[in-house]
Copies of this chain bind each other. A is one copy, B any other.
Amino acid sequence: MIGPTVKELLLENQETFLIPAKNVANVMYQNPLDHCLLVLTKVGYSKIPVLDKGDRFVGLVSLSEVVEKMIDLKEIDMEKLNGLTVADVMQTHVSVVSENWDLEEVLHLLVDLPFLPVVDDQQIFKGIITRKEILKAVNHMSHELERRNLLLSKTDPILEKQKIV
């Protein structure tokens, strides 16, 4: 369990954690894969969310997966994308969190994922929580914790003596 003081400090700027959906580049799963390639290259992100027509989150698509579809031994050919859509390459088994995300879960999932999609109870895509924003919070907490609090080791004899614990 994350301690209450650490948690409170990590969450002090939690309103900055969510990058709202309107600021996150995305593609639709029915989009042609060549369109997706152009979007990915233009935005410069290696991986972006895939939505359906109802703005529901359905997966993630990465530039390397699209390029892989174009490469055949030592040749690359955009024509290989003809007839393919985002749905043909996207990853669908993706961890997401709800709008009432739990800090412990978010910190745990971000060890393995560069960002976490946030969805509501209808699976509507609300935005992402990124490692960048969490690391800002970690910096804040690391600097403030011992500035604001006195820490006594639980094995320190002073506690016994002062009858604090």
Contacts and interface: CB of A to CB of B under 8 A. Distances in A.
A112 B131 contact: no
A139 interface: yes
A40 B71 CA distance: 12
Nearest to A112: B132
Chain A interface size, as a band, is 35 or more
A62 to B, nearest CB: 8
Interface string A1-18: 111111100100000000
Interface of A: 1-7, 10, 34, 37-38, 40-41, 44-47, 62-64, 67-68, 70-71, 74-78, 107-108, 110-112, 114, 131-132, 134-136, 138-139, 141-143, 145-155, 158-159, 162, 164-165
